[in-house]
Amino acid sequence: MEIIREAELMRLRTEIPFPHYIFNVAPTANFSSPESAHAHICSVIEDTRTRGTTLFWSVGPTTSPMDLGYYLEAHGFEQVMRCTGMTIDISLLREEAPVPSGFTVERVTNNSRLNQFVDVLAENSQMPRATAEAMHKIEASLGLDQNSPRQRYLGLWHGEPVATTTLFFGAGVAGIYHVATVPQARGYGIASAMSLSALQDARWRGYRHATLIATPQGQSVYRRLGFQPRAEYNVYMWTAGTFNHG
């Protein structure tokens, strides 16, 4: 996994071809001119084509130019998702969310739990085994230190791993990512319970504010916890061909 930082662009790059934004994504871009936007987009596309991967690109209020989405579509990107940036003052967290009987949340502290964490993410996104194995190598390389700015949480229902979430700490804010629930455990309030547990840990660590990017189907979960919508984001995807799930 590489984080590539340039003057006008930052992106995350891996060798994993599976089309998911956690593997290859450009979350930040601020181009100084149309010519710069064109040159950077062409360069990134060529790199993605050479590696045989897929690229996701997030466009929102902190990216420029304002019509960056138009530039991406002109270069063959397709809009695949519309999300909402949400924030919360953790002191106003609504903690009355019901927790299913037999459900517990653990911070991931060992390789056994890390394997289960990755397996849940893989099942949630229908990743093939090879992708899950590659993802585990990446996650293992990031370590399990309790003081790391990246903390993972695993939800267990009657002892079985069924849900995940991740906290990233930076710039005085806790960011919530990787909220996932396996299909057979959906509809029981588990995503809400996972987010609540992570936010309580963030508060214990001294953080007062948290952020996340919500899909349309996830917004109601976060509103019930006290999150407020702040900005809209469009996610675009470029791929050279169809990914083989076999």
Host domain of residue 23: 2-83+233-239
Per-residue pLDDT, 244: 43
Tell me, yes or no, whether 100 and 67 share the same domain. Answer: no
Are residue 10 and residue 110 in the same domain, yes or no?
Answer: no
Same domain as 109, residue 200: yes
What pLDDT shows up at residue 241?
62
CA pair distance 105, 200, nearest whole angstrom: 11
CATH number of the domain encompassing residue 74: 3.40.630
pLDDT tens readout for residues 169-221 = 999 999 999 999 999 999 999 999 999 999 999 999 999 999 999 998 889 99
Residue 111 located in a structural domain: yes
Greatest alpha-carbon pair distance for the chain in Å reads 57
Query: Which pLDDT score, from 0 to 100, does residue 21 have?
Result: 81
Taking only the tens place, the pLDDT of each residue in 140-161 is: 999 999 999 999 999 999 999 9
Does the structure show a pLDDT above 60 at 243? no
The residue ranking higher by pLDDT, 242 or 175, is 175
Domain assignment of residue 13, yes or no: yes
pLDDT of residue 217: 87
pTM of the model: 0.88
**pLDDT surpassing 80 at residue 242:** no
pLDDT tens across 80-116, in order? 999 999 999 999 999 987 888 999 999 999 999 999 9
CATH number where 189 lies: 3.40.630.30
In a domain, 54, yes or no: yes
The domain total for the chain is: 2
- What letters, b where the CB count within 10 A reaches 16 and e where it falls short, cover 95-104? eebeeeeebe
pLDDT-above-90 percentage for the chain:
85
Return the structure tokens found at 92: 């106003």
